Every structure is written in structure tokens, then in C-alpha cells.
Amino acid sequence: MLKQIPEHKARTFRTRRSAGDRLRDTLVELSSGNAKVLDHQEKAWASITFSGSRHELVLEFDGPNAVVAGELFCAVLPDHEFAIPGQLVADAVISQVDHSVFPHPRMEVHLTILMLVDA
């Protein structure tokens, strides 16, 4: 017979969110919820004095209102002050933007973000 653990004593485990998870959440928030992350690649990065990670992402803005939000996103991203615990965003670069109009407005944004461990 299994013994029931009282609810107040049961442990709950939360999945630990990585810096990459927090970055994706921040980018979607910066887009006012209009971006969908299509791809995210993360690679460790280090120099003699710094360590961190390089993130390459592809975001999709689907629909007329989302495309307008995407254009605003592209305008504000380079100067945005990220607040990711334990991380410093050293560089945020948009490398490519693809627009399509048919069958409906859509925009795809390719970006690279360099995050450094904030010691």
C-alpha cells in the first residue's frame, strides 16, 4: 500500500531556466508577444578575459500587426538594456530580415546575441 504524503510536505520541483530560456522570453516580451521563435542555436564562447555564449535566433512575425511590431523590434533591439540575471548582453546584431506579403504579411528576423557571464 502506498503511503500518501501530506500536501504541505510534498516537494515540488521547478525546472531550472537557462540563460537561453530567459533570452528567448525577453525577446518575445520585447516584441510585445508578437514574435515566435522558429530556431535558437547556442554555442559556448570564450576569450582570454570573458566567457559566455553566442545565440543565433530566427524570429517570425506573422500577420500585419505582428509585422509592424517586428519593425519596431528591429529598431529598438540594438539599444535595448537586457536584464538577464548573471548575464551581460555584449552585442545584439540583426543579420537578416526577410519580408513577404503573399499570402499574408510575414517577417522573419535573424539575429545573433553575444551573452557574457557577469562575474
The domain spans of the chain are 19-117
pLDDT at residue number 15: 75
Count of CB atoms within 10 A of residue 22's CB? Answer: 17
Total-model pTM = 0.83
State mean pLDDT over 27-50.
Answer: 95
Please provide the size of the chain in residues: 119
Q: Look at residue 8 and tell me whether its pLDDT is greater than 90.
A: no
Residue 96: closest CA among 50, 59, 47: 59
Q: What cell was used for 79?
A: 539599444
Q: Look at residue 58 and tell me whether its pLDDT is greater than 70.
A: yes
CATH architecture type of domain 19-117: 2-Layer Sandwich (3.30)
Q: Look at residue 106 and tell me whether its pLDDT is greater than 90.
A: yes
State mean pLDDT over 72-84.
Answer: 94
Residue 57: closest CA among 38, 35, 79, 73: 38
